Amino acid sequence: MRAKRVSFLLGFDASLLALFLLTMAPRLTGLAIHEILGTAFALFFVVHLLLSWNWIKSATYRLRSAGAWRTRINYSLNSLLFAITAVAIAAGLVISQVVLPAFHVPSVDDRAWHFLHNRMASFLRLGVGLHIAMNWQWIVAAVRRQAASLRRRRA
């Protein structure tokens, strides 16, 4: 069962990363698609947190353990990434010109909100890169297990 969960998490996280990268390219996608992708990213982000809840709980307990420096750094980075993501999404919704108006919810055309959204998006790029770097060993191990599993099935 663990192998299926890891396989699902790997696929889900790869989808989340692809969605993130597309969302970070509004000039490529256009504003309407950017907002739709951003909304989808927000939903995927919440699901990612729910799927990671066991890690969040166990890491919270391990914070006070001696020698848990890696857990503390990863936990701090993830907490900061959560805050930055929440602000970027909230600011994006406030300035939405497509998604919220489609539901007759007025948006705000304010330079400060645009600045906040864009600045948080810039920090988000850095944070996601660091998040991937901190979890790189898990990613590589999961990909190797998946590749080995596929080879065994084909043989």
State the pTM of this model.
0.88
What tens digit of pLDDT does each residue of 36-55 get?
999 999 999 999 999 999 99
Q: How far apart are CA 41 and CA 99, in angstroms?
A: 13
The DSSP output letter for 97 is S
Distances from the Cα of 122 to the Cα of 34, 52, 101, 119, 145, angstroms: 15, 24, 25, 5, 33
Q: Do 16 and 45 touch, CB atoms closer than 8 A?
A: yes
Neighbours of 89 (CB within 10 A): 19
What tens digit of pLDDT does each residue of 119-129 get?
999 999 999 99
